[in-house]
Amino acid sequence: MTADETAWPSLSSPTWPETCATLHMWTQMVGKVRLALTPPVNHWWGVALYLTARGLTTSPIPYGHGAFEIVFDFIDHMLVIDVDDGRRRTIALAPRSVADFYGEAMRTLDELQIRVRISPMPSEVPAPIRFDEDRVHASYDADAAHCWWRALLKTDLVLQEFRARFIGKCSPVHFWWGGFDLAVTRFSGRRAPDRPNADAITREGYSHEVISAGLWPGSGAMREAAFYAYAAPEAAGFKTARVGPAGAFYSPDFNEFLITYEDVRRAASPRAALLEFLQSTYEAGAELGGWNRAELERVGP
């Protein structure tokens, strides 16, 4: 095992679940700012966040005749707002309620003459609490947050490598603040069947056939961080397809393949284990779904 591969951090801190719940809300606030001001891009790609060498970024957000950027810095544990004229404001990432953080973040944007209105209601979470009323979530363990970012960064590097094997339409590797997950999505090039009663977000996100994979901290029946992979629409036989590495399984609760982050972290080569999971689940979905793999995949270096 190389030194690089031993660097995959543990996510077993007892403080992580509460920190995760709070941080999820903070990233939603920032993501909603990007959503409000960024031109729409297909499949909602224009609202996601991106990994950096220090944390997560919105990338430049257009505003007026310029731009600004919001960054979660998980090394110095600051929320950094940079405007293209050189102005900078920072907010400490520290234990505090979502309501307090929301209030300071919105006041800071206002002080920078960035006028933006966002929905204060969280997305994609059970029993949501308005940001300005949420005093339930108020945890932030800097070490636990740093480990989660390190896990995302290690995953991002492998997902980028996996993405490079595909020459068809493919999403960036991006962080979805709604689900609090890092993902990459490949497309067959064909439209998907309409989903009856789907909301606007789902209709746009799954307008075309996809195979998607990523890392999320777990929820519901999966109480620990896990890598996932799914096909939409899901072809017959996908549930029972043989995939690797050992430890990977199909979850009927989530309708996707899963392997725990810990199983990958403890592998002789975490990179190789994750690539095996990504490749084998993709091949199962693409073969059973009748994708034109010869036209979609890179051959050679």
Q: Percentage of residues in the chain with pLDDT exceeding 90?
A: 91
Please list, in sequence order, all residues whose beta carbon lies within 8 angstroms of the beta carbon of residue 33, skipping any fewer than 6 positions away: 58, 61, 70, 109, 116, 118
For 9, half-sphere exposure in the C-beta direction (CA atoms, 13 angstrom radius) is 17
The residues pairing with 234 across neighbouring beta strands, listed in sequence order, are none
Which residues face 231 on adjacent strands?
A: 211
Q: Order of strands, edge to edge, in the sheet holding 208-216? A: 174-176, 181-191, 208-216, 226-232, 256-260, 249-251
Q: Please answer whether residues 162 and 277 qualify as being in contact, where contact means their C-beta atoms are separated by less than 8 angstroms.
A: no
3 pLDDT exceeds 50? no
1 falls in which pLDDT band (50, 70, 90)?
very low
- The pTM of this model reads 0.95
For 20, the enclosing helix (H) or strand (E) is helix 16-37
In this predicted structure, what is the pLDDT of residue 5?
53
pLDDT of residue 196: 84
Query: What are the residues whose beta carbons fall under 8 Å from the beta carbon of 266, sequence distance 6 or more?
Result: none
Query: What is the reported pLDDT for 220?
Result: 87
Residue 2 has pLDDT above 50, yes or no: no
Backbone angles phi, psi at 185, to 5 degrees: -130, 125
pLDDT of 27 over the 90 cut:
yes
Dist CA 84 CA 178 (whole Å): 27
pLDDT of 299 reads 84
Q: What is the mean pLDDT of residues 27-51?
A: 96
Per 3-state DSSP, the chain is made up of helix, strand and coil in percentages (nearest 5) of 35, 25, 40
Share of the chain above pLDDT 70, in %: 98
Tell me: the pLDDT tens digits for 140-150? 999 999 999 99
Mean pLDDT of the chain: 95
pLDDT given for residue 201 in this prediction: 86
The pairing of beta strand 55-57 with beta strand 50-51: antiparallel
